[in-house]
Amino acid sequence: MTERPRVAIAHDYLTQRGGAERVVLALHRAFPDATIHTTLYDPEGTYPEFRDARIVTSPINRIGLLRREHRAALPLLPYAVSRLRVDADVVVASSSGWAHGVPTTGRKIVYCHAPARWLYQADAYLGDEAGRGAKARALDVLGGWLRRWDRRAAASADVYLANSTVVRERIAAAYGIDAAVVPPPYGVDASGELSPVAALADWEDGYLLVVSRLLPYKNVDVAIDAVRGLPERLVVVGHGPQAEQLRAAAPENVRLLSGLTDAELRWTYAHARALVGPSLEDFGLTPLEAATFGVPTLALHGGGYLDTIDEQVNGLFFDEPTVAAVRAAIVSARDRAWSAEAIRAHAEAFSEERFHERIRTEVSRFLD
């Protein structure tokens, strides 16, 4: 008889490259023998390191359209999650609204990136679609049922963890759960290989940088408009539904890039003068990634940035996500003297080693 696995990992879907997916990779490095359970897996759309893991998917993974566009699967995801049925002593569920509902034969630790945005922050999540798009209409019809499913899923956890202070507050508001805060680790740092980016060969003397999914609530358009007419140059690294719209509207001092390898992303960070974070993030790994290169961040005063940015050390805040506010921050940062050494030291408090220590401690409570 095969012995039941000690630890398994669950995640919403592995179809994109972002902070949540990097956290799953960090969890897998903490528990390298763990199988990863997920509703959808697109090897071409997410990080190549997942190919080294054993991945179990739900029945809907057979539908190619959903692997390429996971947002279209929204009405099916509760069904897909319920069919994963993880057999393990402990499952660590990395959840932005779905994986916390995975059924398991053992105990369940939920690491929450945010309560489901489409249920509790729908206007921000859908942007211009809110109130008239097909996704907004679907939420109008399914919202009540999805919220009931979501709250039952949250209640099924043995331990609920939040990735930031603001997410802890949202968890309390949505589910009435008092979650401990365990910050995620930065996923890219200066210790790895750097590979030059050909599209930036003539800009390697410096630029502002945005690293983000190209979604309405990320406010990348605000950052682009903020540098319009300024001498500063802006590099945007990311992909998403707004890519073509943003590229068409970008002035000559803005370049949009996508599909970078981690080595190319490191090079891009290393040659940046400052990172710009114009969105309300649940945590926001990019200021920490930038900090490992000694690069400061200009960010919106709110959300997860409040946990990771110290205005005395690694960044400046602006009060609202408007063109005027972002532009003012860019101008005010021109004469600021930064200590790259102090910025790097700040990032070390969020290392992967510290994250592993906290997660292993939580898991060990159920394995002793």
> In this structure, what are the phi and psi dihedrals at residue 181, rounded to the nearest 5 degrees?
-95, 125
Residue 56 has pLDDT above 50, yes or no: yes
Cα–Cα distance measured from residue 112 to residue 89, given in angstroms and rounded to the nearest whole number: 20
What does the DSSP 8-state code read for residue 105?
Answer: S
> Residue 249 has which token pair?
């509207």
Residue 5 has pLDDT above 50, yes or no: yes
Distance of CA 128 to the CA centre of its chain: 22
pTM of the model: 0.82
> Residue 47 has which token pair?
């990080």
pLDDT digits 0-9 by tens, 262-317: 999 999 999 999 999 999 998 878 999 999 999 999 999 999 999 999 999 999 99
The pLDDT value recorded for residue 188 is 87
Residue 341 has pLDDT above 90, yes or no: yes
**Mean pLDDT value of segment 122-145:** 59
Quick one: what percent of the chain has pLDDT higher than 90?
A: 80
Confidence class for position 120, pLDDT limits 50, 70, 90: confident
Spelled out in words, what is the top-level CATH class assigned to the domain 198-350? alpha beta
The pLDDT value recorded for residue 64 is 87
| 279 contacts 334 by C-beta, under 8 angstroms | no
pLDDT digits 0-9 by tens, 146-201: 899 999 999 999 999 999 999 999 999 999 999 999 999 998 889 999 999 999 99
The pLDDT value recorded for residue 177 is 97
Topology of domain 7-185+351-364, per CATH? Rossmann fold (3.40.50)
b/e code 84-96 from CB counts within 10 Å (16+ = b): bebebbbbbbbbb
Within a 10 A sphere around the Cβ of 178, how many other Cβ atoms?
A: 10
The pLDDT value recorded for residue 131 is 44
pLDDT digits 0-9 by tens, 105-117: 999 999 999 998 8
Question: Half-sphere exposure of residue 194, counting CA atoms within 13 Å on the CB side?
Answer: 11
Strand 7-11 vs strand 36-38: parallel, antiparallel, or unpaired? parallel
| 261 contacts 250 by C-beta, under 8 angstroms | no
Residue 139 has pLDDT above 70, yes or no: no
* CB within 8 Å of 250: residues ≥ 6 apart: 224, 236, 256
Starting at the edge strand found earlier in the chain, the sheet holding 254-257 runs 254-257, 234-237, 208-211, 274-277, 297-300, 315-318
In the chain, CATH 3.40.50.2000 covers 198-350
Nearest partner of 243 among 254, 230, 229, 227, judged by Cα? 254
The pLDDT value recorded for residue 1 is 47
Within a 10 A sphere around the Cβ of 44, how many other Cβ atoms?
A: 8
Q: What is the DSSP string of 20-36?
A: HHHHHHHHHHHSTTPPE
